[in-house]
């Protein structure tokens, strides 16, 4: 049971796109009890917070998070609460940390360990993982997708070719995850082993998801010059399963794709008109963040980390790989769509390379950029990068679409992360709403709340209405923003005054109270 709380006199947004109105919000027992002018008049003995001059919104819902293992960290991690985010959807891009057996857990740790907070992922079922995360105490609410990479590694190992019965095994594991409460499944079709999957494999899992009424979230096979074909594949998979489709971190990536934002949005609109419930999400930056090996052709990663590093250590192998990488066709990685000067290493076993570009490191070593890239992957297959890929007009065009919500694509709160980890939502509201007026306040809040909650079936969240869950964010519209940069990302956002989670004040006066009041939300 939580105390009765009154948020008095703020401008209240319902999360559905309605303009804000001055009203009181009354919260009791973890539920919104009233939203109306003067609603607090009869309340006695309640804790009252004066919200005059502030905006009161539903707690923000992050469509795209990589916070899967954050609850397992020793200390509470309020980096999302300090942005006003009360709920995250994790397990994106095909990366979930269950279900795993001993062998697949070792592969995940070797290749994607930093995404898992450098905590060895525990072998076990999806239900086991959700129970563990719940016991450890999330700092904010988390809903989990089951990742296709993980299903494939556990059912098939790290090889590119499917073993007999592997698809059926993946379907059984997916069904178990949905029974345990997974809100959907995700793919990351530029990363191994998902990059080796054909469409029929994905459709087989989508049909299981459809039977449970779940959502398909995809990091598509191409976000650059072949983005139209990639959307067509995503729509086909969703249609085969009869599932909602969430297109992750919508972008036109790489110089060859600049200007394709309109084509991307037209494809999403066409899918909806054809009967597929397609939406997207976006982060408000020109640079993305990913694993270093994403710059390399898919074939480099066949067989897992040990096989990959052995091949990359062979100068003769690099000759053919370089030719593929510089060609830049689908499956050839991101190297052709960027430059060594635009890639910043943000996570690596060698701390001396962190915060430096590949071009800088190549100059120091007397090597060229591609050989330096390969050397860095050999030294740490799980290394992470920030890479500039997008053009500002495309970012604004995508942001203005009513079909695209907000998703941070954050990494774990450790080391040198992309600034979206710490400031995605305040940046949207401060830079693109207040300063640049790309969106209205009510539309931006809708894109940060109900649009995402609906797409993942999070009933009673993302809205500020009587009977809804009492997750609330109060912010100062004149101050909200984030000053973090790619080389100094971990700056606390400005303007988030109060966050209420399940009826409890967890951010008070801009500071975290220390309470881990989050839950694992199960479908």
**Does the pLDDT at position 2 exceed 70?**
no
Question: Per-residue pLDDT tens for 33-55?
Answer: 999 998 877 777 789 999 999 99
Per the prediction, the chain carries an average pLDDT of: 96
Gap between the terminal Cα atoms of the chain: 23
Question: Per-residue pLDDT tens for 57-83?
Answer: 999 999 999 999 999 999 999 999 999
Task: Mention the CATH class of domain 75-286.
Answer: alpha beta
Contact at 8 Å (CB) between 502 and 510? Answer: no
Q: In what order do the strands lie in the sheet with 287-291?
A: 287-291, 384-388, 343-347
Query: For the packed helices 369-379 and 305-312, what is the interaxial angle rounded to 10 degrees?
Result: 140
Question: Per-residue pLDDT tens for 264-319?
Answer: 999 999 999 999 999 999 999 999 999 999 999 999 988 888 899 999 999 999 99
Q: Which pLDDT belongs to residue 44?
A: 75
pTM for this model (two decimals): 0.95
Q: Could you please report the per-residue DSSP string of 311-343?
A: HHT-HHHHHHHHHHHHH--TTS-SGGGS-GGGE
Which phi and psi angles does 47 have, rounded to 5°?
Answer: -75, 130
pLDDT-above-90 percentage for the chain: 92
CB-based burial, 41-65: b 16+ in 10 Å, e otherwise: eebeebeebebeebbbbbbbbbbbb
Question: Per-residue pLDDT tens for 108-156?
Answer: 998 888 899 999 999 999 999 999 999 999 999 999 999 999 999 999 9
Contact at 8 Å (CB) between 78 and 512? Answer: yes
Residue 230 preceded by cis peptide, ω within 30: no
Of the candidates 326, 343, 246, 346, the one whose C-alpha atom is nearest the C-alpha of residue 287 is 343
- ∠ CA 477-48-451, nearest 5°, is 45
Helix/strand/coil (H, E, C) string of 253-293? CCHHHCCCHHHHHHHHHHHHHCCCCEEEEECCCCEEEEEHH
Count of CA atoms in the C-beta half-sphere (13 A) of 161? 2
| Mean pLDDT value of segment 320-331 | 92
- Domain spans, the chain: 75-286, 291-388
Rounded Cα–Cα distance for residues 281 and 303 (Å): 32
Question: Per-residue pLDDT tens for 343-401?
Answer: 999 999 999 999 999 999 999 999 999 999 999 999 999 899 999 999 999 999 999 99
Q: How confident is the model at residue 1 (pLDDT cuts 50, 70, 90)?
A: very low
């Amino acid at each position: 049971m939580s105390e009765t709380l009154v948020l008095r006199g703020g401008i209240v947004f319902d999360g559905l796109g309605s303009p804000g109105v001055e009203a009181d919000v009354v919260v009791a027992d973890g539920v919104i009890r009233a939203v109306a002018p003067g609603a607090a008049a009869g309340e006695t003995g309640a804790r009252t917070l004066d919200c005059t001059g502030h905006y009161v919104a539903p707690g923000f819902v992050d469509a795209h998070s990589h916070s899967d293992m954050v609850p397992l960290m020793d200390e509470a991690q309020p980096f999302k609460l300090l942005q006003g985010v009360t709920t995250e959807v994790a397990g994106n891009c095909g990366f979930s940390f269950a279900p795993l057996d001993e062998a697949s857990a070792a592969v995940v740790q070797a290749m994607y360990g930093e995404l898992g907070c450098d905590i060895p992922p525990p072998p076990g079922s999806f239900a086991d993982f959700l129970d563990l995360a719940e016991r450890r105490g999330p700092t904010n609410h988390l809903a989990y997708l089951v990742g296709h990479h993980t299903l494939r590694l556990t059912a098939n190992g790290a090889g590119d070719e499917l073993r007999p019965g592997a698809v059926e095994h993946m379907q059984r594991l997916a069904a178990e995850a949905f029974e345990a409460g997974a809100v959907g499944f995700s793919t990351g079709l530029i990363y191994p082993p998902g990059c080796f999957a054909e469409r029929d494999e994905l459709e087989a899992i989508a049909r299981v998801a459809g039977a449970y009424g779940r959502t398909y979230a995809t990091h598509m096979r191409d976000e650059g010059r072949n983005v139209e074909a990639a959307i067509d594949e995503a729509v086909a998979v969703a249609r085969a399963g009869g599932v909602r489709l969430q297109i992750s971190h919508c972008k036109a990536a790489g110089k060859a794709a600049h200007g394709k934002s309109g084509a991307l949005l037209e494809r999403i609109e066409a899918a909806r008109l054809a009967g597929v419930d397609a939406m997207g999400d976006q982060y408000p930056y020109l640079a993305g963040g990913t694993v270093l090996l994403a710059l390399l052709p898919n074939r480099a990663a066949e067989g897992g980390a040990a096989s990959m590093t052995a091949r990359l250590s062979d100068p003769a192998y690099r000759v053919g790989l370089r030719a593929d990488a510089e060609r830049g066709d689908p499956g050839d990685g991101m190297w052709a769509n960027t430059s060594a000067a635009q890639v910043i290493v943000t996570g690596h076993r060698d701390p001396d390379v962190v915060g430096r570009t590949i071009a800088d490191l190549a100059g120091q070593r007397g090597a060229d950029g591609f050989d330096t890239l390969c050397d860095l992957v050999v030294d740490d297959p799980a290394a992470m990068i920030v890479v500039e890929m997008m053009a500002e007009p495309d970012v604004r065009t995508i942001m203005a679409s009513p079909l695209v919500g907000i998703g941070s694509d954050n990494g774990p709160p450790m080391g040198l992360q992309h600034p979206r980890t710490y400031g995605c939502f305040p940046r949207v509201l401060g830079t693109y709403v207040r300063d640049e007026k790309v969106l209205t306040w009510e539309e931006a809040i809708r894109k940060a709340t109900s649009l995402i909650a609906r797409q993942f079936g999070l009933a009673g969240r993302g809205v500020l209405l009587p009977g809804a869950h009492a997750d609330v964010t109060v912010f100062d519209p004149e101050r909200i923003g984030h000053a973090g940069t790619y080389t100094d990302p971990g700056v606390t956002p400005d303007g988030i005054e109060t966050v209420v989670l399940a009826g409890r004040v967890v951010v008070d006066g801009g500071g975290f109270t220390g309470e881990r009041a989050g839950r694992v939300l199960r479908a």
